[in-house]
A and B are shown apart, each in its own frame.
Chain A
Amino acid sequence: MKMIIGGAFQGKSALAKKEYPKIDWVNGEEADWAAVRKAQGILNFHAFIRREMKEGKDVRELAEWLIDCNPEVILVSDEVGYGVVPMDAFDRAYREAVGRICTKLAAYSCEVTRVVCGIGTVIKHA
């Protein structure tokens, strides 16, 4: 598993597609679990987490499930935890869920790249 993370609109997806030109990507804004669990690469993974939560699904074990059934996936996700604590309870829960899930996935990943202004810095290489 590898992860490409960073703030919104930093060129993460473009960098991911350039790094891995041959794989098929699904988009977390529309893909369901059946697609995500088999995908070679997932863009906007944070959006998948948000959609699952909006549908009332329990995402606490999502990282474990993904590691279990798709351990080689390339994940692209926004970092969403760098702002003031949101007023809205769902937004707070979502923000924390993305953090907890991605922290577990980063611990499992062999490589984590953080993208700022289109420039990727490898922050973990195991």
Chain B
Amino acid sequence: MMILVTGGSGSGKSAFAEDCVVSFGGEERVYIATMYPFDEESKKRVQRHRKMRQGKGFKTIECYTRLERVQVPEDSTVLLECMSNLVANEMFQEDGAHEDTVASVLRGVRQLKEQTGNLVIVTNEIFSEAATYQGDTERYQEYLGKINQELAEMAEQVVEVVYGIPIYHKECAPEGQEGSGDDEKPVEQL
């Protein structure tokens, strides 16, 4: 099962994604952290997320670039957070994939998916605002937008979190119940 969790800034995506992982049950939980702590603000952010994860039994793997190198245990549940950071790292860090970012990230996700049964990926909506961008920032939106679309295609479930409220954009029938021809379920409220 792969779940893609998206939403705006400060919308409660992480808390929701962690709940998804915990609800999968399972013994081993792996957190793939992609935020490079380059200044005070990002260090604080990392601290905040660590505090949220405390006591939930996650083993943390830091991965700022080249997701395809990450190895996870076979039966683990994996939470990758956040795609927007990974894409920025791949594009702008020296050892990143640069113009090969989209292909490189998708390769990494496919490999993760092959290694583990349950994968939750947190991404970000950065596409709706009045400001327009050029150059690197516009390309960043383009790359992340493309990746999000591909991930949504791969995922069994796509959830947008709006102020902590999940809105299901894609939800397939659980395994063993496929083939009914009707993959869509009505919006559920938690």
Q: Which residue from B128, B140, B163 sits with its C-beta under 8 Å from A103?
A: B163
When A and B form their complex, which 3 residue pairs have the shortest distance between CB atoms, in order from nearest? Answer: A99-B10, A81-B8, A83-B129
Residue of B nearest to A96 (CB): B10
Q: Is there contact, CB below 8 Å, between B137 and A84?
A: yes
Chain A residues contacting B130 (CB-CB under 8 Å) are 8
Q: Count contacts on B: residues with CB < 8 A to the other chain.
A: 25
**A97 at interface (Cβ–Cβ under 8 A)?**
yes
Q: CB within 8 Å of B: which of A105-126?
A: 105-107, 112, 114, 123-126
Q: Is there contact, CB below 8 Å, between B163 and A112?
A: yes
**A71 at interface (Cβ–Cβ under 8 A)?**
no
Q: Is there contact, CB below 8 Å, between B189 and A124?
A: yes
**B38 at interface (Cβ–Cβ under 8 A)?**
no
Taking Cβ atoms with an 8 Å cutoff, the residues of A that contact B are 3, 5, 7-8, 79-85, 89, 92, 95-100, 102-103, 105-107, 112, 114, 123-126
* 10 more A-B residue pairs beyond the given contacts A92-B41, A99-B8, A123-B187, with a C-beta to C-beta distance below 8 A: A81-B7, A81-B11, A83-B126, A83-B127, A84-B141, A89-B41, A96-B9, A99-B10, A103-B11, A105-B163
Chain B residues contacting A89 (CB-CB under 8 Å) are 41
Chain A residues contacting B187 (CB-CB under 8 Å) are 123
Complex alpha-carbon distance, A11 and B92, angstroms: 39
**B165 at interface (Cβ–Cβ under 8 A)?**
yes
Q: Is there contact, CB below 8 Å, between B164 and A103?
A: yes
Q: Which residue from B9, B163, B165 sits with its C-beta under 8 Å from A85?
A: B9
Q: Is there contact, CB below 8 Å, between B126 and A84?
A: yes
Complex alpha-carbon distance, A99 and B164, angstroms: 9
Q: CB within 8 Å of A: which of B98-147?
A: 125-131, 133, 137, 140-141
Residue of A nearest to B129 (CB): A83
**B162 at interface (Cβ–Cβ under 8 A)?**
yes
Chain B residues contacting A84 (CB-CB under 8 Å) are 126, 129, 131, 133, 137, 140-141
Q: Which residue from B12, B125, B140, B167 sits with its C-beta under 8 Å from A82?
A: B125
Which of A8, A80, A112, A124: most chain B Cβ within 10 A? A124
Q: Is there contact, CB below 8 Å, between A106 and B163?
A: yes
Complex alpha-carbon distance, A102 and B7, angstroms: 14
Complex alpha-carbon distance, A82 and B162, angstroms: 11
Chain B residues contacting A92 (CB-CB under 8 Å) are 41
